[in-house]
Amino acid sequence: MSYDIAGHGVTTQSFKFYRDLHCWEGQFDWVPGGGRQGYYFKINVKSLPDVKLEKSESGIRGAFR
């Protein structure tokens, strides 16, 4: 979260969740509002990064990398 001290308000919010699931890993990124509003979800096999499932909405996929 970013807070504007002069304007006395929250300017942006973003949430990033990552979970190590033994031989899998999962990631969920979410921006609830503003110009980058949307989400990105990915689950993949650690030893085979090309074996994955990805889903995003509103084009924020590159915003967290």
Q: What is the pTM of this model?
A: 0.69
Check whether 61 has a pLDDT greater than 60: no
Quote the pLDDT of residue 29.
93
Mean pLDDT for 30-59 is 88
Quote the pLDDT of residue 9.
75
Pairing mode, strands 2-4 and 9-12? antiparallel
User: Do residues 5 and 19 make contact, with C-beta atoms less than 8 angstroms apart?
Assistant: no
Mean pLDDT for 42-47 is 94
Quote the pLDDT of residue 59.
54
For 6-33, how does the pLDDT look when each residue is reduced to its tens digit (9 = 90+)?
Answer: 888 777 788 999 999 889 999 999 988 7
Domain boundaries, the chain: 16-59
The one-character DSSP state at 18 is E
Q: How far is the C-alpha of 42 from the C-alpha of 52, rounded, in Å?
A: 7
